[in-house]
Each structure stands twice: as structure tokens, then as C-alpha cells.
Amino acid sequence: MTGGNRRLDMKAKIIITPKKAVLDPQGKTVQDALQHMGYQGVGAVHVGKYLEIELSGSDKDAARKQIDEACHKFLSNPVIEDYKLEIE
Amino acid sequence: MNFAVLQFPASNCDQDAVHAVRLLGHSARFVWHKENSLGDTDAVLVPGGFSYGDYLRCGAIARFSPVMQAVKQFADNGGLVLGICNGFQVLCEAGLLPGALIRNRSLQFRCENVFLKTATIDSPFTNQIPAGQLLRVPIAHGEGCYFADTDTIAKLKVNQQILWQYANAQGELTDGANPNGAVENIAGICNERRNVAGLMPHPERACEPLLGSTDGRLIFESIFHALKSGPAAKVA
């Protein structure tokens, strides 16, 4: 659906990463591979998720409040993940 | 007894769950994820599979389906709810059980038989399991590594909420017997009230000699026993 006159003025950018205490076998495997390939100085790797959400309107504070709640309730799992939210 | 077996898009152990309950002499029916009510139900099974394609996180989307609101109410009223595999993930995401299930330590999908040690028979899901008897049941999952923070794990231990742990053939909780890296070899837990439980292994696939094991029956028989002897919650 194109949404007619609906204007997509803002964008929420969300980065979700595994909490430090949580086992991250994907990150470890990528780290091992990078080191195996000979890249120097490679430390811990954390594999997470990136989400972009298009938002209509221009009230950034209201958008942040709403998406922050969605991040906490649904988009991330606070038991195992941290998230960073940016609205632009 | 009437069992409600939930069906989400991409549930795939729902048929097995219904089959197992009927095989053991009780009635079971499917309840579609869009239903708002469980109907006349004595116990709920949340089956395995890949609900909603495992999008976002396993169980993350299923937990917001209409039927899960009814399950939450059923559980709040003391009704027995068992989540198997993806069902366990759904119950954790829904907050009905503590913790979360993450990628297997090996990054591999593990499909094999395991031994389970029952940590306590004091639950509606374990009361018929003879002391010391290991259960031989299959697992089939890629994201079954149980995780919870240290405070939660301590609480699980104090309250005897750990029901099943991965063990070797001698019943020892070794690292080698842990198929997914779960904390404390945890295969299944219950909530503090002991009416909601979840486990990654599949007892419904171990109820007939043809399938190689009948040990899964003990878990279902525990539920039947609990329903017969305890006040069953009825939620319309």
C-alpha cells in the first residue's frame, strides 16, 4: 500500500545486540573466521539485528516514546538483548 | 480430559501432540491462533514448530496472537499449560515462563535422542515419573539454549522450578550431554506457581514403541494425574 498522501517523514533506526552475559556463538564464529583470515587486532564480535521503521509525522519525541515501548515489548527481548534507538 | 492444542501458522508438531493425547485415551482438539477463547479446556499444549516463521525471534510474534491472551488468562486462573519446543519459546516470550531460548552453542540444528533427568517430581508435569528414571526423548531445534540471568537461575533452583535437565546415559549432567549449551543443562522448567511448564525435547514423539521410546508418556500421564486429583481450572 502506498498510503496516498501519507508522508514518511521520520525514520527509526534500531540496533539490537546480544547482552554481554549471553552466549553469542555467532559472534564467536565470525571472530574466529576473521582471525583465521588473517585480519589483525580483531577482538570480540557481536552479531545483532538492524531494523528501520518508516514513520509519518514530525514529532520526534512522541515517535521515540512509542518506538521505545515497542522495542522493549516486542522488537527486542530484554532478557537476552540490548537495543539502541535513533529517530531521524 | 480435554486438551487444547494451539495452532499457529507454521506450527508443525500440533498433529503429533493431538495424536499423543488421543492415543493415551483423552480428547484433544486444535485451537486456531485467531481464536479468542479456548472453550471447554482442562489443559493447553503449545506445540512445536516455527510459529510465524520464527520471524524476529522464535515465539516473539505468536505471543501477541489472540489465542495467547486466552492462554494467559487460563494460566492466571491456575490452568495447566505445557509448551513443547517452539511452544516453550512462545511461553518464555509471553512472560509466562522466565528466561529465553537462544541459538544452540554449536550453531547447528540438533535432531537426536537425548536423556532427561527429572529434577523434581513435585509438579503436575513430573509426578508420575519414577524416581531416578531417565527419559529417552528426541530433540529437534536450532534455538534451544536456555538462558536466564544468574538471579533468575538461583530463583529457579530455590523454588525447584527446574523440571528436566540434559544428562548422559548414567544420569550425570555433563557438558557433553548438553546438546545446546543451556545453562545448568536445563531442558525444561515451570513457573513459580507450577502450573505452566515448557521443555525443548518432544515427549509427544516418544509415546509409542514404534517411535523408539514410550518415555514421553510419563509426562502426559503426570498431567492426567494432576488433572484428576487437583482442582482443574475451567476457563471459558
Domain boundaries, chain B: 2-229
Start-to-end Cα distance in chain B = 15
pLDDT digits (tens, 9 = 90+) for A30-41: 999 999 999 999
Q: Do A25 and B107 touch (CB under 8 A)?
A: yes
In this complex, which of B56, B93, B103 lies closest to A25 when CB atoms are compared? B103
Three cell numbers at B220? 502426559
Whole-angstrom Cα distance, residue B188 to residue B73? Answer: 22
H-helix segments, chain B? 14-23, 66-76, 86-93, 150-158, 217-229
B102 reaches A (C-beta below 8 A): yes
pLDDT value at position A7?
61
Q: What is the DSSP string of B35-58?
A: -S---S-SEEEE--B-GGGG-SST
Are B202 and B139 a contacting pair, CB within 8 Å? yes
b/e map B161-184, b = 16+ CB within 10 Å = bbbbbbbbeeeeeeeebbbbbbbb
pLDDT value at position A83?
98
- Residues of chain B where predicted confidence (pLDDT) is lower than 70: 231-236
Are B136 and B218 a contacting pair, CB within 8 Å? no
Residues of A in contact with B105 (CB under 8 A): 23, 25
Are B17 and B84 a contacting pair, CB within 8 Å? yes
Whole-angstrom Cα distance, residue B190 to residue B182? Answer: 15
Q: Do A79 and B181 touch (CB under 8 A)?
A: no
In chain A, what are the domain boundaries? 10-36+44-87
By the 10 Å C-beta count (0-12 exposed, 13-18 middle, 19+ buried), A43 is classed as exposed
pLDDT digits (tens, 9 = 90+) for B170-204: 999 999 999 999 999 999 999 999 999 999 999 99
Three cell numbers at B87? 511452544
Which is the CATH superfamily of the domain at B2-229? Class I glutamine amidotransferase (GATase) domain (3.40.50.880)
- Residues of chain A where predicted confidence (pLDDT) is lower than 50: 1-4
B110 reaches A (C-beta below 8 A): no
pLDDT value at position A87?
96
B54, B57, B91: best mutation site toward chain A, by most A Cβ within 10 Å? B57
Length of chain B: 236
Taking residue B227's Cβ as centre, other Cβ atoms within 10 Å add up to: 20
Q: Could you tell me the CA-to-CA distances from B44 to B38, B108, B232 in Å, in that order?
A: 9, 30, 12
pLDDT value at position A6?
57
Whole-angstrom Cα distance, residue A18 to residue A78? Answer: 9
Q: What is the CATH number of domain A10-36+44-87?
A: 3.30.1280.10
pLDDT value at position A1?
46
Whole-angstrom Cα distance, residue A22 to residue A36? Answer: 24
Q: Is B181 helix (H, G, I), strand (E, B) or coil?
A: coil
A22 reaches B (C-beta below 8 A): yes
> Half-sphere exposure (CA, 13 Å, Cβ side) for A84?
7
Hey, which residues does B112 pair with through a beta bridge? B139
Are A47 and A25 a contacting pair, CB within 8 Å? no
DSSP letter for A71, please: I
CA A79 remoteness from chain centre: 15
pTM confidence score:
0.92
Q: Do A25 and B93 touch (CB under 8 A)?
A: no
Chain A: give the shortest CA distance to residue B57, in Å: 8
Q: Which amino acid is at B36?
A: N
B184 reaches A (C-beta below 8 A): no
Residues of B designated catalytic: 85, 202, 204
